[in-house]
């Protein structure tokens, strides 16, 4: 599994930094955001180090699908599938990406703002 030295989320995958894990598959990890912006705020990441969603898309068969499928399962398991939720990938400086290991935010449990940014 490709990891990036010093990458925060690679270190969470490796178990070097604690996180509240909600789901794990062979290729993905889902854990609670340390600074939740909604009652449900889970990050879903590929275990392999890929910087952003574009890198995941070109990585090869199925990884982006697996990531999105995991987001949906998280929403179901967190009880927000019916009330509604949002899946967000921030990418790059103007997209507001702070951690450069691809992650999807799964947000729900309250009425989210109409405005996206």
Query: Which residues contribute to the site for Zn ion (CB under 5 A)?
Result: 4, 7, 9-10, 49, 101
4 binds, among Zn ion, ligand 5GP, none (CB under 5 to 8 A by kind): Zn ion
- Retrieve residue 83's tokens: 């009330």
Distance CA 35, CA 44 (A): 15
Question: According to the binding rule CB under 6 A, does residue 87 interact with ligand 5GP?
Answer: no
* Residue 115 Cβ vs Zn ion, minimum distance, rounded to whole Å: 30
Nearest Cα residue to 49 out of 103, 111, 105, 107: 103
Is 103 part of the annotated catalytic residue set?
yes
Task: Kindly list the catalytic residues.
Answer: 103
């Amino acid at each position: 599994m490709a990891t990036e030295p010093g990458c925060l989320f690679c270190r969470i995958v490796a178990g070097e930094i604690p996180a509240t894990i909600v789901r794990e598959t062979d290729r993905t990890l889902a854990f609670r955001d340390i600074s939740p912006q909604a009652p449900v705020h889970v990050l879903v990441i590929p275990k392999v180090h890929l910087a952003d969603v574009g890198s995941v898309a070109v990585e090869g068969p199925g990884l982006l699908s697996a990531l999105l499928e995991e987001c949906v399962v998280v929403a179901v398991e967190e009880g927000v599938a019916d009330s509604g939720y949002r899946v967000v990938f921030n990418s790059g400086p103007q997209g507001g990406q702070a951690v450069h290991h691809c992650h999807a935010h799964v947000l729900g449990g309250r009425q989210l703002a109409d405005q996206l940014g």
